[in-house]
Amino acid sequence: MLQKIRENSQGWIAWTIVALIVVTFALFGIEQYAQSERTIIVAEVNGKDITGTEFLILYHRQKQRLHSQLGDLYDQIVQDEVLRTKVLDSLIESRVIQQWASDNDVVVSDEQLSATIESSAIFHKDGKFDKETYSLILSNNGLSVARYEYEQRMFLIENQYKELSSSSAIATQTQVKQLAKLQQQERNFNYLRIDHNQLAKKIKITKDKVADFYDKNKQNFITSKKVKVDYLLLSQQDIAKKIVVNEDDLKNYYQDNQDQFTSVEQREASHILVKVDNTGKDVEALQKIIEIQNKIKAGEDFAKLARKNSDDPGSANLGGDLGKFKQGIMVAEFDESVFSLEEGQISEPIKTDFGYHLIKLNKIYPKYIKAYKDVKNEVENSFREKEAEKQYFNLLDKLNTLTYEHPDTLEIAADELGIKVKTSTAFSKDGGEGVLASNSKVVVAAFSEEVMKNKINSSTIELSDISSVVIRINQIIVEKQQELAEVSMNIAAEIKKQAGIKASADLAKDILAKLNSGAKLEFFAKEGLEYQAKGWVNRQDSEVLPQIIEVLFKTPRPVGDKSTFTSAVYPTGDSVLIEVISVKDGSITLSKEEAEQLKMSVESTHSESEYNARISAIFESAEIDRKESYKTLK
């Protein structure tokens, strides 16, 4: 126990979430797990168990964190099997480090632990660590003080191990300059793309080849289990359409919500811009804008001067006209100037990130309330939406209750709520077409034990903020071996595709040999072999595929005037031959800030490599036994 923390703190704080308390990698105790320790073992590290409890603590926390970050995209992005594996890997890595620390007498003192916890702002009140704040936050999140402090101690031990690597990572000036040269390097290149589709067209596929492929890959031609579901869809939009409105309701709503139907003040302005390309041109740009200002004061026309002098391509030809806009649209300095001018007034030179501006305010369009007759449709739509929102949550509560109380039918809820029971198209665990079958939450529910095996209604599934659905199984379509006749055309297409990809790769290999013997890349251009002289590109070039950029900058430098060649494969299956003609290294003249950033980047790379090497070394000497139980543990 940390007596210092517990005796010298006081106060209270509102609720917070555990993700704000600690670093994700640390494991935190959850009392409900600790009170009912599972005996399931998910892994052994040098004979020491990692329990199901430890696994579930981190698994559920990581899952909750990802749900919070990704929202509705969670089910589309996160694969549960991958998440479980990463969680177990993290636990094993933690255990290996902890055992190493124990063997090498690496400890964290009470003073170190106290200092770490006391420095955490989440436990502060009035700028100081507070006991009641500390205890309340832990309690609200199901954490005991003892468990939390133990886990923090383990985290600090692991962090010490990592710091052993980072502290030894040093970047020399030579390495920093070399990295600068590489990062800013440009390469002059050409390429030849070999279209695998053109080659595939020439390949003949016999019935025997198709039959042989089918026989060897029958397991790939088994239709997945599919289901059709009956469902009740509750939609706020559908509710809105059924709401009966009258003129008095709409007029009252209009009067009560006039802010919604008020046009904000807008201003119409023109400007003349003199760009500042770099800091060295700042004074020059300011002098030019002052010269233009003096010409305007002398009586010259603002629009004519804008056409002649403005560096804004979007407005120069229009005499600098920017049209009308409301406050907050333009950058802050420009916006502030426009909304401080009187009609017809021209500003002093204004500096923004784009350069120097002279701004002329042409007209002010004052704020006004739109007449009811002009916005009646908007009023009605908004009124329906608000009323539907109120009804939606009431009806959603009824839907929950009725489908739960009558789990073997949707009809009772349908009759009560005035919704029709509909039936989906068939879909597999991979989903299907349509709003319902393409929703991962619906798919998971449909294939769950409760819905599929027990044949009961699902719980309410939220499709969006304004629509929810309850489903139940209508039909289960079992797996079936497809006959050769059903899949022969698909097999023939696949054989052709793979043969085309191989032919493209083989041809690339042959041409590469000829190029290295002195042949010119452009001589091989013909139908199906597209030649492109790309010219100079850098590593950030967005017009070249990342796969090509990666290969291009790994290709050896040309020696003298002799190009170097290599090959790559597009994601489409086309092979590409790349010719590097020449290379320009980047500048090694760096500002102090740039040099420091690159130094940190080199040190970070060294640190990561050192850490990975250390981890690999102790992993090799450790006995690790991963159990299958972690894959299904709930």
Q: Where in the sequence is the domain holding 325, given as residue range(s)?
A: 265-366
Q: Are residues 500 and 465 in the same domain?
A: no
Question: Looking at the domain assignment, is residue 295 inside a domain?
Answer: yes
Task: Name the average pLDDT for the chain.
Answer: 83
Residues β-bridged to residue 129: 124
Q: Are residues 457 and 513 in the same domain?
A: no
Q: Are residues 100 and 196 in the same domain?
A: no
HEC readout, 547-603: HHHHHHCCCCCCECCECEEEEEECCCCCEEEEEEEEEECCCCCCCHHHHHHHHHHHH
CB under 8 Å to 66, separation ≥6 — which residues?
A: 74, 78, 83
Per the listing, tokens 């009124």 go with 383
Q: Are residues 51 and 160 in the same domain?
A: yes
Cα 395–chain centre separation = 34
Range of weakest confidence among 272-276, 540-544, 626-630 = 540-544
- From the number of C-beta atoms within 10 Å of its C-beta (0-12, 13-18, 19+), residue 197 rates as middle
Of 478, 495, 522, at which residue does a domain stop? 478
Overall number of domains in the chain = 4
Question: Looking at the domain assignment, is residue 611 inside a domain?
Answer: no
Band of residue 12 on the pLDDT scale cut at 50, 70, 90: very low
Q: Are residues 202 and 142 in the same domain?
A: no
Q: Are residues 429 and 341 in the same domain?
A: no
430: left (phi over 0), alpha (psi -120 to 50) or beta: alpha
Per-residue pLDDT reduced to its tens digit, 15-24: 232 233 333 3
| Helices 592-621 and 80-103, axial angle in degrees (round to 10) | 80
DSSP codes, 226-240: EEEEEEEEEEHHHHH
Rounded-to-integer distance, Cα 15 and Cα 33, Å: 21
Q: Are residues 57 and 28 in the same domain?
A: yes
Rounded to 5 degrees, what are φ and ψ at 51?
-85, 165
Q: Are residues 204 and 159 in the same domain?
A: no
Per-residue pLDDT reduced to its tens digit, 266-286: 999 999 999 986 555 678 889
Question: Looking at the domain assignment, is residue 620 inside a domain?
Answer: no
Q: Are residues 277 and 403 in the same domain?
A: no
Q: Are residues 423 and 274 in the same domain?
A: no
Question: Looking at the domain assignment, is residue 499 inside a domain?
Answer: yes
CATH of the domain at 313: 3.10.50.40
Question: Looking at the domain assignment, is residue 528 inside a domain?
Answer: yes
Q: Are residues 271 and 401 in the same domain?
A: no
Per-residue pLDDT reduced to its tens digit, 118-144: 888 888 888 888 888 888 888 766 667
Length of the chain: 634
Cα 64–chain centre separation = 16
Question: Looking at the domain assignment, is residue 300 inside a domain?
Answer: yes
Question: Looking at the domain assignment, is residue 36 inside a domain?
Answer: yes
Residues β-bridged to residue 568: 576
CB under 8 Å to 548, separation ≥6 — which residues?
A: 191, 568, 570, 576, 578
CATH of the domain at 95: 1.10.4030.10
Of 408, 443, 478, at which residue does a domain stop? 478
Q: Are residues 106 and 190 in the same domain?
A: no
Q: By percentage, how much of the chain surpasses pLDDT 70? A: 84
pLDDT of residue 180: 60
